[in-house]
Structure 1
Amino acid sequence: MHRASPTQLHKHVSQLLTGGIIKTLPVWYSAMNKFPPGQSLLRSPLQFREKDLSRKKLPNKKAPSPKHLKTKIPRPQKIRYMEDSLRREFYREHPYELLRPQIMMEKNDGIMEGHGELLSKLKFPCRVTGEDVIRYQTHLMKVQKLGKHQAYVEACNEFYKIRAREEVAERVAEEQALLFGAKISRSQTERSLWLEHENLQMSEPQVINQVLRIMS
């Protein structure tokens, strides 16, 4: 069967109607007759005049290198808080504060009513950690407009006073307990050393006998 080209389709349909092969025209015939298709179905590029091209100077761009054609992998942005740098500086100079046991479920019993509460106004005894010092330093920097170093020194001074009061209170409590006849149990470290000493004394005769056997 002969197939007409798309550009001559409306003419081919007219010939079929004249020859009596088809009785009625298709619905699209009138539209195609008014707006016949072009000679090429491909889109032609935009046509520019030579004068326009001569007036405009094309930029001399280098071809992009292959590394610029790679798509970058989307990564989440880094979230930084001011407290992060303060926390890093404090625990770098006070590493033993990280060894103090803490229960995360316990609250501060309302002692620190707000982040801006001064350490000097805390009631004693109280539980003061490095996080309280960092919040106090942040308060000094934001509210009292102190510099980072000055706020750090003032917060640490208040922190040292509280730690000194805690040590004095513990020493006084221990002396009072001994005065009233309390027996203080050994710490875990002292108990471990005592057990090690007992085991060494028990194994000393066996070691001496083995050495004498080897020498004989």
Structure 2
Amino acid sequence: MRGRNLKPSRVYQTASALLASNSIPQPPVWYQTIGAIPPGEILTRSQAPQHREIRLSKKVRKPSKSFRPQQIVYEEDLLRKQFYNDHPWELARPRILLENDGRDGQNCNWANIRQPGRPLNGESVVQRQLWLMNEGQRQKDEAYDIARKEFYALRHEEEVERRVAKEEALWTGAHFGKGALDVGMGLEDKTYDEWLEWAKTNVADQAMTREAAYTSIPEAAEIDLGLDGEEQTELPAAA
């Protein structure tokens, strides 16, 4: 179709000529529509488009909260927050998060805070408090006090058993390395000694800088000519 005029105003005439010469077997699907409604001859706009002035409202509408995902909050979350706020060091204890089927907590009977095969930790207090609130019909603060005191008693027993086991091992000749407290104190002492050496060096440098800044030449200085040790010239005194 090289050399043919394919402008929008000549499309219908070009297609008619092709049909008349049997160059195309059948008319295109748009042939009847273009013949009934021919395209415009002028492709440019007769006048500039009318732009509507849009005034933005000062009151900005906030997006609806109905499209936001709903926050999932469990009853245990508030109990955990209260316990770990009162016992922050419990978060430093290592815990095993691996479970058999993901529902190990549901298989426990929290009528007793100590569960067989389950270590005693903050989660034990939370589940015990929740059981007392739901099954024991206790108030939140009362259930928290009961679970917390049971937790303290069991932790005290574990600490006594650990100390007795260590003393028995030492008596039989066992040797233990430094504990976590001893290692921490050693690192703290090392850091303090390094800081002390740095402070001494820094103070000495500041003292030398201060002395050099305030050093001055005496007003009446004697100049030795180096002839025989007797001939000296004195500077005239200030008037």
TM-score band w.r.t. shorter chain: 0.5 to 0.7
CA offset digits 1:19-51 (Å, max 9, x no partner): xxxxxxxxxxxxxxxxxxxxxxxxxxxxxxxxx
Output the TM-score relative to the length of structure 1: 0.53
Structure 2: 5+ residue runs without aligned partners?
1-56, 212-239
In structure 2, the residue matched to 1:134 is: 126
Q: Which residue of 1 aligns with 2:112?
A: 119
- Tell me if structure 2 keeps the 8 A contact 1:115–1:135: no
Q: Would you say 1:171 and 2:155 are equivalent positions? A: no
Q: Return 5+ residue gaps in structure 1 as ranges.
A: 1-64
Poorly superposed stretches of 4+, deviation over 6 Å: none
Q: Provide the secondary structure at the position in 1 that maps to 2:107.
A: coil
Write the mapping of 1:29-68 to structure 2, written as runs, cut at 5 A.
none
Q: In 1, distance between residues paired with 2:111 and 2:69?
A: 36
Question: CA 1:137–1:174 in structure 2 vs 1: closer, same or farther (change >3 Å)?
Answer: same
Aligned match of 2:72: 79
Q: Kindly state the Cα deviation for residue 191 of structure 1 after the two structures are TM-superposed.
A: 3.5
Distance 1:87 1:196 in 2: 33
For the pair 1:89 / 2:82, whether they are aligned, the reply is yes
Query: How many angstroms does 1:196 deviate by?
Result: 6.7
Relative CO higher for 1 or 2, CA cutoff 8 Å, sep ≥ 6?
1
Larger Rg: 2
Report the CA distance shift for 1:119/1:96 in structure 2 as closer, same or farther (over 3 A): farther
TM-score by length of 2: 0.48
Q: 1:113 to 1:94 in 2, by over 3 A?
A: same
Deviation at 1:78, TM superposition (A): 2.1
**Contact residue 112 and residue 122 of structure 1 kept, 8 A:** no
2-structure distance, mates of 1:86, 1:175: 37
**In the comparison of the two structures, how many residue pairs are matched?**
143
Structure 2 partner of 1:191: 183
Percent identity between matched residues is 36
Structure (1 or 2) with the greater helix fraction: 1
Task: Report the aligned-residue RMSD.
Answer: 3.8
Q: Is the 2:113–2:125 Cα contact (8 Å) retained in structure 1?
A: no
The CA deviation at 1:103 is 2.3
Partner amino acid, structure 1, of 2:69:
P
